Amino acid sequence: MNIHEYQAKEIFQKYNVPTPRGYVAHSVEEAVSNAEKLGGSIWVVKAQIHAGGRGLGGGVKLARSLEEVKTLSSEILGMTLVTHQTGPEGKLVQKIYIEEGVDIADELYLGVVLDRAQEMPVIMASLEGGMEIENVAHDSPEKIIKVAVDPSIGFQPFHGRALAFGLGLQKEEINNFIKFASALYTVYMENDVEMIEINPLVKTKSGNFVALDGKVGFDDNALYRHPEIEAMRDLSEENPAEREASNFGLSYVKLDGNVGCMVNGAGLAMGTMDTINYMGGFPANFLDVGGGANAQTVAKGFEIILRDPNVKSIFVNIFGGIVRCDRIANGILEATKLVDVHVPVIVRLDGTNAPEAAEILRNANIKNIITATDLGDGARKAVAAAKGELV
């Protein structure tokens, strides 16, 4: 689960991670009164959407008077903000954050992510603040300093020094930085965070560090331990199809290809997507129907997959372990009565009662249901069908 910048900063403040002062606003009037409450003479009006790159897209603007706060707020609130992370359709701005302007001496980058290979959280820092860290990692990986923290010992001053020296910080800045990184690590660990990104981390003229931006993603499986974080969920920011799928116990993630996938088990789903790629195609989605697939879940799966206009074929790849293949085959036939499946469906069922399942599908004799003998055969047929070839 992701949250907005203003919510990330609320959490940071609780852990003494310094941020500029600011207040969220839902209307222009509220924005102006927030600016008055903050005082000072420079404010920043920031669109709150779950995507980065807002600055370049025109969603972060500096105001030098209350009048300007008013104008900028009315421009940004309600705009459809397009950034490289929103896709071309953009995102509607429903909230803005009014923040005090910060006197920036330097923009850095600081993040914490889980490194699955090392089985540890890794803190990443770079002097290339404000840039996409993925691009820095690609073009000049030596500019990113990484320190893995063994969770059993936790963050220690030496971790902080390794980062600070790597960044070439001045003597009087080092302690401030270590305190900052240590507090950020605590945010990461205590809230079951999957990734935190502060881009930019700002060094002020007085050598202090301030989180100017904040992006935090949480581990969904641990949310039950943090009701106060779950309460920060903004459903309007989430993909409606993914949300609906999760209500039916399906894990659906939309992708950009044209071969819809319906699979049971996350591992098999990944293998299916890889094989589609291997056969020269592109999956339109990840969909795990889970262990108890039946006619209703299969129908829901078809419905959600077909809502994506890019989908030109569907590959159903289900292993009958707990569920029997003959029941799935009947479920697929049932589902085609409930949902108008207008693209070719390639079905590969293996495991318990696979021969009976093949028999059921053959006897049903439905034109756009095509059976496959194995994963490779199914993926090949699904990719061909998506290209409009005869299979």
Of 247, 237, 208, the C-alpha closest to 104 is 208
> Would you count residue 199 as binding Mg ion (CB under 5 A)?
yes
Helix (H, G, I), strand (E, B) or coil at 230: helix
Element (H, E) at 316: strand 313-320
The least CB distance from residue 12 to ligand ADP, in Å, is 13
Kindly identify the residues of this chain, within the stretch 258-277, that bind Mg ion according to CB under 5 A: none
Compute the radius of gyration of the chain from its Cα atoms: 25
Residue 128 interacts with ligand ADP (CB under 6 A)?
Answer: no
The Cα–Cα gap between 328 and 312 comes to 22
Question: Can residue 90 be called a binding residue for ligand ADP (CB under 6 A)?
Answer: no
Query: Does 197 engage in binding with Mg ion (CB under 5 A)?
Result: no
Contact 110, 181 (CB under 8 A): yes
> Of 213 and 288, which CB lies nearer to Mg ion in the complex structure?
213
Asked if residues 351 and 326 have their Cβ atoms less than 8 Å apart, the reply is: no
Is residue 350 involved in binding Mg ion (CB under 5 A)? Answer: no
Q: Which helix (H) or strand (E) holds 345?
A: strand 345-351
Smallest distance from ligand ADP to CB 211, Å = 9
Are 285 and 265 a contacting pair, CB within 8 Å? Answer: no
| 201, 111 contact by CB (below 8 A) | no
Size of the site for ligand ADP (CB under 6 A): 18
Which of 109, 185, 188, 252 is catalytic? The answer is 109
* Residue 99 vs 326, nearer CB to ligand ADP: 99
Structure tokens at 214: 């904040």
Q: With CB under 6 A as the contact rule, which of the stretches 101-109, 168-176, 184-192, 255-263 interacts with ligand ADP? A: 101-109
**Nearer residue to ligand ADP within complex by CB, 105 or 322:** 105
213 is a contact residue toward Mg ion (CB under 5 A) = yes
- Residue 146 binds which entry of ligand ADP, Mg ion, none, with Cβ cut-offs from 5 to 8 Å by kind? none
Q: Quick one: 213 or 350, whose CB is closer to ligand ADP? A: 213
Does 201 bind ligand ADP (CB under 6 A)? Our answer is no
Query: Is 109 assigned a catalytic role?
Result: yes
How far is residue 64's CA from residue 44's CA, in Å, rounded to a whole number?
9
Which secondary structure element, helix H or strand E, spans residue 185, and what is its range? helix 171-190
- Give the residue with the Cβ less far from Mg ion, 35 or 201: 201
Site membership for ligand ADP, residue 301 (CB under 6 A): no
CA torsion 155→161→166→169, rounded to 10°? 120
Give catalytic status of residue 197 as yes or no: yes
Looking at the Cβ atoms of 196 and 293, the one nearer to Mg ion is: 196
Q: Which residues contact 174 (CB under 8 A, 6 or more apart)?
A: 160, 161, 164, 165
Q: Does 5 bind Mg ion (CB under 5 A)?
A: no
Q: Among 173, 197, 252, 303, which one carries the catalytic annotation? A: 197
2 binds Mg ion (CB under 5 A): no
| Contacts to Mg ion by CB under 5 A | 199, 213
State the catalytic residues.
109, 197
